[in-house]
Amino acid sequence: MKPTSAIIATTVAGALWAGTAMAEKWDMPMAYSATNFHSATGAEFAKCITIGTGGDIEVVTHPSGALFKGADIKRAIQTGQAPIGERLLSGHQNENPVFGVDSVPFLATSFEDAAKLWKAAKPTMEKILLDQQLVLLYSVPWPPQGLYFKKEVNSVADMKGLKFRSYNTATARLAELTGMLPVQIEAAEISQAFATGVAESMISSGSTGYDRKVWESLTHFYEVDAWLPRNYVMVNKGVWDDLSKDKQNVIRGCAALAEYAGAWRAVEYTQFTLNGLRAGGMMVGPAGDGLKAELKEIGATMSKEWLKLAGSDGKAIVDAFKAMK
């Protein structure tokens, strides 16, 4: 992470250069609760733009899927229903396998490796999104993903038949390979899904479980550090192209600040949320050696499948990532 002085200077300069055109209101849909660190970072990003443009662009965030459900956010921005918004990157893996690079099991399992993987993947992501009339502004990782259950689990056999909350192609495939039953559930619906028995398990970060107080329904969290998925903020290309260079510079500066702050928060929030799960009464700790070994085998299968689907773009990203290690 680079010092923020240059970024702040850019943002402040942009504020001074911003014009005095009639104010625009930009509604910014977000899928996660207002207390989630991604949503908090997005709210500060929105405020930065509003201040930086001298009020010419007022960005208003709508967390918890209040404006559009998570699965609908990207399409809403592409079609101009909203100018800007945040979405889970791997949520689009069914459109293009490359979107799922951050959810390839055990490829990048630490914040350091996740940053390297993003550096390798970002140019390709920007091109894909531009082709879809979207401009990438910033991206922030989630903490490492672990497994949640309402019972003790020591092997893949113990998972068979459980209703498993899926949120992208990778999680649905993981359910299939472990004998669980995938159920598509958005983040805003997690608490209700577990309380009513619609879902009984999931793979997610400590952050998601903490925000949704899953200890009210679940009992165990196993740290497996399977991957670190990313959220990203995008803007409609037509809206972006209509902005002056000064306003684009302000937004780019605010985006750089948000990416820096969000990445720092993700690291700091990891242990805090695991402690919160413990305080809620959950058993929190590493998965057993046997379960880890079985998950690694499943991960190897999923990695091969992803590389085959992602083709030359996927291979180039993975090769570039491995060259950084």
Q: Are residues 292 and 196 in the same domain?
A: yes
Q: Are residues 132 and 168 in the same domain?
A: no
Q: Are residues 93 and 17 in the same domain?
A: yes
Return per-residue pLDDT of the chain as tens, 325 residues: 444 444 444 444 444 444 444 689 999 999 999 999 999 999 999 999 999 999 999 999 999 999 999 999 999 999 999 999 999 999 999 999 999 999 999 999 999 999 999 999 999 999 999 999 999 999 999 999 999 999 999 999 999 999 999 999 999 999 999 999 999 998 889 999 999 999 999 999 999 999 999 999 999 999 999 999 999 999 999 999 999 999 999 999 999 999 999 999 999 999 999 999 999 999 999 999 999 999 999 999 999 999 999 999 999 999 999 999 8
CATH label of the domain that carries residue 25 = 3.40.190.170
Q: Are residues 62 and 108 in the same domain?
A: yes
Q: Are residues 138 and 170 in the same domain?
A: no
* pTM score: 0.90
> How is residue 244 written in tokens?
């002056």
Q: Are residues 285 and 200 in the same domain?
A: yes
Q: Are residues 73 and 202 in the same domain?
A: no
Structural domain for 174, as ranges = 146-226+272-324
Q: Are residues 190 and 262 in the same domain?
A: no
Q: Are residues 46 and 167 in the same domain?
A: no
Q: Identify whether the C-beta of residue 104 lies closer than 8 Å to the C-beta of residue 93.
A: no
Return contacts of 108-113, CB within 8 angstroms, 24+ apart: 108/227, 108/228, 108/321, 109/144, 109/225, 109/226, 109/227, 109/228, 110/144, 110/225, 110/228, 111/141, 111/228, 111/263, 111/266, 111/267, 113/321, 113/325
The total number of structural domains in the chain stands at 2
AA letter at 58: E
